[in-house]
Amino acid sequence: MRIEGTARVDRRTKRLARRLRPGEIAVVAHRDMDEVAARSLLDAGVRAVLNAEETLSGRYPARGAAMFLAAGIPVVDGLGEQVLERIADGDRILLDGTTVWCGGQPVARGVLLTGERLEERLAQARRNLDRELMRFLENTLERAHWERNVVLGNWQPPPLRTPLQGRQVLLVARGHAYREDLEAIRPYIDEVRPVLIGIDGGADALLAEGYRPDIIFGDMDSVSDRALRCGAELVLHAYPDGNAPGEERLRELGLVATRYPAPGTSEDAAMLLAHQAGAELLVAVGTHTSVVDFLEKGRAGMASTLLVRLKVGTHLVDAKGVSRLYRVRPTPRQLVHLFIAAMVPVAAVTAVSPWLRALVELFWLRARVAIGW
């Protein structure tokens, strides 16, 4: 295997994906790559992935490695820090087998991710999952005790340009199977026309489906510049102490956002905001709820998510996985009705068009001759 191309280098996969161009090689340091990060590289047209860490370590069943293999994208793991130190962004590099060359010199050697290696690591992850689950539960319960007053307190929503009082709100994050679930509830979106809130990269998910988000909420680290400039109201998720790392990026883009200091993840804070702003119903797509979801996000627990969902209660409808419930398949009777409906206008046009009627008669005559009738 020999692959030559331009290297895009960044320790953070989210940042790299925004700069990656089709056919380029991603050089990252991402242990146990999650589904969203892998999908962002695939969507950008990555040609190969060079990882200083292990794309799947066996700690838990991270989903990114399998996605690369399914897409036929070569992944070389365990290249070490030198691959980040000796390759600059934009360098032309050569991947020869499992050795990376830059400037005519070998800079790092790793291990190719194969189907066999993937299965070994997944088996290890499944054996290890119970232990990870226990740690996760302990952390969740401990943090829930300390955060209960913070999350369940009366957080006042900031004044918003987009009214939420008495309206249904669709919150979209880029979690597992978000595309399929978003497509499955398209009739709901078109009929009810809820307020659309894209949580970070969820704004890009909405745009990809042809919808413009009304609000983009989050720390703005994984949403595209295009989405930020689409005209949506921007709400910047800040830490409870007021610190907002995403503010610098918005300033560089010349954009202004409303601050919302709140604990927990941006998904939790967005739910709190919509609930406290008087939304009648919250519908969530792509949100993170499972142990693997949170481990992939680098979180050791889900205290704030647990507390927020307890607070929101029956106002929340989680549409995650709805695409797996039911797929519409036409019945034979429906197909017959569809055929008849399609033939009615054809027959009508044929009846009033002499030349088309003559053409149909000619075809009919040839068919009779062909079958000897």
Measure the CA–CA gap between 123 and 155, rounded to whole angstroms: 44
- For the beta carbon of residue 168, count every other beta carbon within 10 angstroms: 18
User: Looking at residue 77, what is its pLDDT?
Assistant: 96
With contact defined as beta carbons under 8 Å apart, do 32 and 59 qualify? yes
Amino acid in the structure at residue 253: L
Residue 114 has pLDDT above 90, yes or no: yes
Measure the CA–CA gap between 170 and 213, rounded to whole angstroms: 10
Please tell me the least confidently modeled range out of 14-18, 153-157, 181-185, 246-250: 153-157
Measure the CA–CA gap between 201 and 175, rounded to whole angstroms: 10
Please tell me the least confidently modeled range out of 159-163, 317-321, 367-371: 367-371
Three-class SS state of 196: strand
Which residues 6+ apart lie within 8 Å of 217 measured at CB?
197, 198, 199, 200, 235, 237, 260, 266, 269, 270, 273
Question: Residue 83: which H helix or E strand, with range?
Answer: helix 82-85
197-233 pLDDT, tens per residue? 999 999 999 999 999 999 999 999 889 999 999 999 9
Q: pTM surpassing 0.95?
A: no
**Among candidate residues 311, 304, 288, the one with its CA nearest the CA of residue 142:** 304
Domain boundaries, the chain: 2-113, 132-324, 332-371
Q: What mean pLDDT value characterizes the chain? A: 85
155-214 pLDDT, tens per residue? 677 899 999 999 999 999 988 788 888 998 999 999 999 999 999 999 999 999 999 999
pLDDT tier for residue 108 given thresholds of 50, 70 and 90: very high
> Which CA distances in Å does 315 have to 68, 185, 209, 272, 278?
37, 18, 25, 11, 10
**Fold category of 2-113 in CATH:** Glucose Oxidase; domain 1 (3.50.30)
Residue 366 has pLDDT above 70, yes or no: no
40-57 pLDDT, tens per residue? 999 999 999 999 999 999
pLDDT tier for residue 243 given thresholds of 50, 70 and 90: confident
